[in-house]
Amino acid sequence: MPDTPGYLEPYQHAVREHGATWGAQLWKSPEAQRARFAVACDLAGIGPTTPARTIADVGCGRADLAAYLAEHGLPRGAYIGVEGVPELAQAARDRASEAGWSDCTILAADFVAHAELPARLVNGHGVNAIVISGALNTLEQDAALDTLRRFWDAIAGRGVLVFNYLPTKRDPLPPAPGDPARRFDTEAVLAWAMSLTGSVRYRRDYLGDHDATVAMA
């Protein structure tokens, strides 16, 4: 697909190789995915005793976050998944339905390219929690921060933005040939977040220093 943006091509390639299955999402393992989800929910204030939120799962893949929330009995309002790979978007519709979400929308959209999407989610769908889990991994840092800024501008004062990224390692090794993953400088990411809000939470203690999650409110 020559018109596929570079950041989506690894996922399109994986879909061609594996179909719209677990392997097409480029997660390291189900356990790592669940660890990320647990931290994102904690920082977003999604817990067994908290009010239900209207959640936008941006870069939702197969809607595994929807299944995670259902499996753990976490309070559920509406769920809006956003996925730029059509085959994965369809798989997300099926998976969210199987997970029992009665108020569920899956948008087939490239969240990087569609600048109007954040405002549409917040103003049109009433989203008050935006979760971006694993979906920034193929973006360069500047492009990721530009994209995150649009989501922050839409939800600032109205909810929480939670995202994770791959941080630079203390003793980095050269990337493997063909590895699509990009790593971000944590000092730069946190400085960017704190320039926009005084309410920033950060964790990097859950996957052996190989992943980081930021919440902005």
- Asked if residue 3 belongs to a domain, the reply is no
State which residues form the domain around 98. Answer: 9-216
Q: Per the domain annotation, does 92 fall within a domain?
A: yes
Domain count, the chain: 1
Distances (CA, A) of 100 to 40, 46, 66: 21, 18, 9
In tens, the pLDDT along 141-176 reads 999 999 999 999 999 999 999 999 999 865 545 556
Asked whether 26 and 137 are in contact (CB, 8 A), the reply is: yes
Nearest to 128 by CA among 71, 34, 53: 53
Q: Which of 12-21, 70-79, 90-99, 146-155 shows the lowest mean pLDDT across its residues?
A: 12-21
8-15 mean pLDDT: 74
Q: Residue 63: helix, strand or coil by DSSP?
A: coil
Task: Work out the pLDDT band at 8, boundaries 50, 70, 90.
Answer: confident
**Residue 2, in any domain of the structure:** no
Q: Name the band, by pLDDT with cuts 50, 70 and 90, for residue 115.
A: very high
Residue 27 lies inside a defined structural domain of this protein? yes
CA distances from 194 to 128, 138, 153, 202 (A): 20, 24, 14, 11
- Here the CATH number for the domain that contains residue 133 is 3.40.50.150
Residue 207 forms part of a structural domain: yes
Residues contacting residue 143 through CB under 8 Å, at least 6 positions apart:
7, 112
The dihedral through the CA atoms of 156, 205, 23, 105 has a sign that is: negative
Domain-located, residue 1: no
DSSP track, 76-87: ---EEEEESSHH
Pairing of strands 212-216, 200-203: antiparallel
